Structure 1
Amino acid sequence: MNMGGGRVQQSTGQVTFVYEPTRADYAKAVRRFTFGTWPGLRGQVFLALFTLALSWTLPTLKGFSPTATAFVMACAVVAVLVTLPRVLARVAREQYADVEEYGACRTVVREDWLTTTGGELSSAIEWRVFPWYFETDEFFAIKTKNTRGVFVLPKRGAQDPADVDRLRALLDRNLRRI
């Protein structure tokens, strides 16, 4: 297998990236999706509203004073704020574990699907599995329909800066940018 760089084959409409996935890439992608995109923020807003409604409703049903109700609400919000970073770190670890065994990866992105190979492993995924993607300065993150699933494609895998633009165009044609 030739792992020698991000060459683009114009005739077939594909872009190839070669890179080593890192845990930090996945941690950044999970945080960015959760706090930097509308689908991720929508989940946070729902969680916050649910927590506030539950922490307001339960004490008032029991006849607690407004002070006690406010205390329960504050405890619920603190509990969410304390556990959320741990949950995000666990999700990032799980996502990275899925690609860690690939080692050095070669990802080919085409008009109808993408495939990643590394070591003895290979996987091909059609675009219909991915509803969205987002981009940072360091990578493209492609979200799966699974609410926690993310595939990170680091820009460092492109040897030619034009590969990044070609990949962005391919993703724009096939996915919704968030």
Structure 2
Amino acid sequence: MNRYDDSVRQDERTVEIVFRCTTADVAGALRARDAHTAAGRRKRWAFPLAGTFGLGVGALVMVTDGAVTGPPLALLACGVLLWTIALFGAQLQARAFRGLLAKAGETRAVIDGSGALVATASSHTRIGWAAQPTYVETADLFVMLSDDKGAVAMTVLPKRGIRPPADADALRAILDRNLRRL
């Protein structure tokens, strides 16, 4: 008997996922979260809009004033920064998790009717459906999300770790039965 058996209900269908979470997985989950939360949707239009404004006003002031220092340069820099965040923010955030992902090593997630049991080399966590009551499916991932404004808590479940591949349908069925799909 392994350490997971006491937390998984054996009377119903379970799906096991074994994977090493990558920065690409985290970036994909962040993009999916941003596409399905109000805060993320605001960020998707506000950052480019503000970045374009900064670039435009900075360039206009430099052209009319002829000065390439001070406030015009700061506006240009802010515009570039906002556009960089808009285009590459998810990848940059995911890179911040690189060390943590390396320490976690292989992850084993067992999903059943009571929630998800996620175990890594350094942690063992039971996530009930109430903690993350919504989910998003992408081409490569299932992402369970908390229901706070920014969906701060999320669980990343890469489809490549599902054994056998036909269990993707079983996992989708469990999630659909217990969570609200976004």
Aligned counterpart, 2:119 = 117
TM-score of the superposed pair, with normalisation by structure 2? 0.66
Give me the whole-angstrom Cα distance separating, in 1, the residues matched to 2:109 and 2:176: 17
Aligned counterpart, 2:130 = 128
Deviation at 1:79, TM superposition (A): 4.6
> Quick check: 1:164 aligned with 2:165?
no
Structure 1 residues 10-69: Cα deviation after superposition (integer angstroms, max 9, x where no partner): 7323211111111111112212332xx3423244346678x59x98xxx9xxxxxxx87x
* RMSD (CA atoms): 3.9
| 1:95-110 superposed matches below 5 A | 99-110=101-112
Aligned counterpart, 1:63 = none
Q: Give, as a single letter, the amino acid of the residue that structure 1 aligns with 2:16.
A: T
> Quick check: 1:153 aligned with 2:157?
yes
Aligned to 1:147, the other structure's residue is in SS state coil
Does the 8 A contact of 1:30 with 1:150 survive in 2? no
Aligned counterpart, 2:15 = 15
Does the 8 A contact of 2:16 with 2:110 survive in 1? yes
| 1:1-178 superposed matches below 5 A | 11-34=11-34, 37-39=35-37, 40-45=40-45, 51=50, 79-85=81-87, 87-94=89-96, 99-144=101-146, 145=148, 147-178=151-182
Structure 1 segments of 4+ aligned residues over 6 angstroms from their partners:
none
Q: Which runs of 5+ in 2 are unaligned?
A: 3-8, 62-71
Give me the whole-angstrom Cα distance separating, in 2, the residues matched to 1:143 and 1:98: 20
Give me the whole-angstrom Cα distance separating, in 1, the residues matched to 2:155 and 2:99: 12
Of 161-170 and 84-93, the range deviating more from structure 2: 84-93
Q: Which runs of 5+ in 1 are unaligned?
A: 3-8, 60-66
Deviation at 1:99, TM superposition (A): 4.7
Structure number having the greater helix percentage: 1
Aligned to 2:163, the other structure's residue is in SS state coil
Q: Give, as a single letter, the amino acid of the residue that structure 1 aligns with 2:153.
A: G
How many pairs does the alignment contain? 163
Q: Give, as a single letter, the amino acid of the residue that structure 1 aligns with 2:19.
A: Y
Cα 1:43–1:84 shift into 2, 3 Å: closer
Q: Percent identity?
A: 31
Cα 1:16–1:85 shift into 2, 3 Å: same
